[in-house]
Structure 1
Amino acid sequence: MLSQRVKKAVLPVAGLGTRVLPGAKTTPKNLLNVFDRPILSYIVEEARAAGIEHFVFIVGRGQGAIEDYFDANPEIEGTLEAKGKLDILADVRRDLPQPGEMSFVRQMAPLGLGHAVWCARHIIGDEPFAVMLPDMLMMASPTALAQAVAAHEETGGNIVVVEPVPEGEAHKYGIVALEGRDGRLNRMTGMVEKPPPGTEPSNLFISGRYILQPEIFEILETQERGAGGEIQLTDGMANLMKTQAFHALEYDGTTYDCGDKIGLLRANVAFALARPDLGEAARKAITDLL
């Protein structure tokens, strides 16, 4: 099935990071380090590997550090170059965007994920786009978003990346309902946000990567507030599902919830151990502590 290529991604980064306070008090939670790089560095790398050409960051008040991170720093770069520390200089420059590759949109009030996505409407325009929740750091090859893009090229429509929920914890997540279950890519029939224990329609939860059609913006514009008094993206998707196909992709990889203190710790350990240059040293350091 031919479908329009996904070239843009929306990254809602305006959250306060209450689950990782006080670490996120002065540093935006998505700039907290996983090993030696900010979380957002991994997210951007994942997206680029999936063919994303334009990033739309939905930011909040006091988060100018995110824009600064993706900007040149002549003082640091000049010092490193003068001292011949070219390997460190390359690391500093690796995340810098091409001119026009990134846009930053201010979400004026914390009205929910659906509202954050809606804020990107004028930049996205009339084309399918990805949504990446930066709290959820995914270790996969090919990347989680690349797997979603491949699924979209196969089916068209809308793609929701899912994975098995830990036993007994379905009531904490958004759970998908499926038409049938055959392999990793299946048509969806619905979504339930935090279902009461024992009522969940499957064991697959929505894990933070989506490919959506632009018609979602019209729905979100008039979407009533849902859970928590916020405009929920899942409510908008449920309405869009009445007229468009949705497929759930059970991706091949591991997710780390970096909006949670223990999840952030797990991500640090996992990504440190996976480093070809420093993995063995990291393993020894962890083993020594144990």
Structure 2
Amino acid sequence: MDGHAEILDLDAEVLAEHTASITAWLPVDVSPRQIVDLGGGTGAGTFALLARFPEAHVTAVDSSADHLRRLRDKAGEHGVADRVRTVQADLDSTWPELGEPDLVWASASLHHLADPDRTLRRVHDALVPGGLFAVVELAGFPRFLPDDAPENRPGLEARCHAASDRRHAEHVPHRGADWGLKLTTAGFTLVGERTIAVDIDGSRSEAVGRYALAGLRRVRDAVADALSADDFAALDQLLDIDSPRCITRRDDLAVRTERVVWAARRT
């Protein structure tokens, strides 16, 4: 499995309760039958939506054939293959045929698009009248380490994330956008907005350590040229699975972030 798919799978596992709380909150008048998951990845949103709406079918759209293959494999394992359709598509290019969904879900995907405003308008036109569009975004990648850990240079993770944020501001300009404003500009009526604080103690799941390892590996790749030599060495020690200081050996990990969800209706 590629590194990105691994992080998506771990994200789904570690944040499953929070994802379920978002799907439970969605202001739907009637349970949707046709759902589209835009940027579905390996299926975190798809399977949460299938669980929340047991009569629904989901069309999962992603640009990665490997991610969609993994999603189909999971659907078979979960016994819901007959309720899942996958579509490989670049949403900045040709818009795929998605039918007339009752609900469209986009989690941590819209900010990657070159022209998300165009996609919002396309979603608006695809939805049935009264249909709902749910947009979910993370407020940055999760933090895992306590800031005052002396053996790993206090503030190391904060400095890594600051460097990563600077890089993303240049290369992913829509991260952190005001999606509520974008949705109303695209013709939607905003019907709900919610911020969910995520603070998961690492002792609750052994997956937290693997999630931290995979996540900080990706951060390392993004910020390697922006760190001091001492910070870089400390980070490499955290990511060395043979080191006694490896992040997976720690007992003080947590997953801390925020997720914001906007619900908008085509009226």
Q: TM-score range by the shorter chain?
A: 0.3 to 0.5
Task: Calculate the TM-score normalised by the size of structure 1.
Answer: 0.34
Q: Which has the higher helix share?
A: 2
